[in-house]
Amino acid sequence: MGDNKENSSTNKGLVTIIIGLILIIAALVLFILFGKEKKSGDKKVEEEMSTPYQVVEAESTKTDAEEKEKTDEEVKDDIYAEFTFEGDSWGDEPTNNINIAITNKSDKDLSDWEIRIPGFKGAEIQGHWNGTFTLEENSDVLIITSTGEDWNKTVKAGTELQNIGGTIKFRSKEQYEALKNVKPVLYSAGKEIKAEEKAENPKTKETDSVKENEKEKKEVSKKIAPADVSGTPVSNHGALRVDGCDLVDKNGDAYQLKGISTHGIAWFPDFVNKDAFKTLRDEWGANVIRLAMYTAESGGYCTDGDKDKLKGLVDNGVDYATELGMYVIIDWHILSDNDPNQNKDEAIAFFDEMSKKYADYPNVLFEICNEPNGGTQWPQIKKYAEEVIPVIKANKEDAVIIVGTPTWSQDVDIAAEDPIEGYSNIMYTLHFYAATHKDNIRSKLETARSKGLAIFITEFSICDASGNGGVDYDSAKDWFKLIDKYNISYAAWNLANKNETSSLIRSDCSKTSGWNDEELSDTGLWLKKQMNY
């Protein structure tokens, strides 16, 4: 009986061990199965979270403690936008794709975002995806926003929004190349990201924040000068300056600007075109264009004119001249407003904007008051100039600035008695119409030169002072003897087909460029020969 009990106990022990092993094996199998299913599920969730525009986790190597100790410089770099172009290949037209990415390394979601990129003046948007691209007429800034859908309206904290893109037809290859150096500016709910982050950070002093904000605004508004066009006047002579009575080039050699003034750009806008300027450069020998923007007449900047449209025409004119390697004068064309102080505040705002925009352009000159008249005296003009000049110089220290003189810019001898002091590169305007202004005005030029005044003839014609009447070839010849004697720069009035003697194009010619000699007025034909002499 005892042997049977012992065998029974042994058998029960073996059974227990076997059951235990079975349970262990079963547990391992279940663990492996559930573990694989979980990993597979995680992958499925990741795939379901992916979107057409790719949201990816932004890289960060900082610990939580380090994030709390970020400096102001690090904070402003937490959220930023970047853009790249897709290759450098060109077909028949300068068209390329632009790709946008927004990085948000901060701990806050970025909502209602907007990207602004300056430098797209004259470009065309041909398509866009995962974002909305807009470029208003005559605007310099490309604006990119979300489509308004939830999937790309917000950039989550710690993520990156990619693959926002568009197809752009650029105005020129030079514009495309210049844009490679432009940084996009990111906004949220209408506020610039960098300015907002710095203002909210208690470590940043208020004065430093204001300075930084002003710097950013200046950088956004500034235009990028296209690369020099080889063999053109600007590439050969560079930024100009005043040395004594003379205008000199980058090498310090006396240099004469000779060219054409537009008529009022509000009235003859079609003549502000690249082909017209190219015709004047290549066939007439012109190296400068003067953009005459009237201030007080009908359609004038300070009366009932469309300010944005007028500034757009000025911008176009500067761009065309720059692309052709020509110099260009931005002219504040006072006339019926007599005294430049009448619209001084408008002038200051205008030249502040223009000098910021073209601060890096070596070819842009500024004429701050065309023809003071109606009894306006030199002390009034000088006072005005001494308020406008420092505004321009604050943005473009080496700017060449041309100041009008009394009596429709004829009394340069009076200005020579009390010239503007404390600024470099200041010139003074003398205007003449050969059939009216003869030895008496020529003697004023001689007197002013003898007293060291730098003179620029920014407007003239060979008819009478009305811009009409007969041509006086003999007086015109005498004027050019004096101009050649002193190597004085000049711009002839005017590039238009208005039915008057001073217009260079015949009134029955509708062409706005590429004119042959038969399509020129008597004044235009004479001037073309004179400039090529």
Greatest C-alpha distance within the chain: 155
Query: Using alpha carbons only, what angle is made at residue 466 by residues 461 and 472, rounded to the nearest 5 degrees?
Result: 45
Three-class SS state of 293: strand
Distance of CA 329 to the CA centre of its chain: 16
Three-class SS state of 30: helix
* Catalytic (active site) residue 124: no
Contact criterion met (CB below 8 Å) for 230 and 109: no
* The CA-based dihedral angle spanning residues 277, 278, 281, 286, taken in that order and rounded to the nearest 10 degrees: 0
Task: Choose the catalytic residue: 196, 371, 387, 446.
Answer: 371
Task: Choose the catalytic residue: 73, 459, 518, 519.
Answer: 459
Distance of CA 189 to the CA centre of its chain: 24
489: enclosing H helix or E strand: strand 489-495
Beta strands in 316-425 (DSSP E): 327-333, 364-367, 401-403
Count of CB atoms within 10 A of residue 203's CB?
9
**Residue (of 150, 321, 305) closest to 226 by Cα position:** 321
If you write DSSP's letter for every residue of 229-283 in order, what string do you get?
A: PTTSHHHHH-S-EEETTEEE-TTS-B---EEEEES-TTT-GGG-SHHHHHHIIII
CA distance 410 to 437: 9
* Catalytic (active site) residue 93: no
**Residue (of 332, 414, 316, 424) closest to 371 by Cα position:** 332
Query: Where in the sequence numbering do the catalytic residues fall?
Result: 371, 459
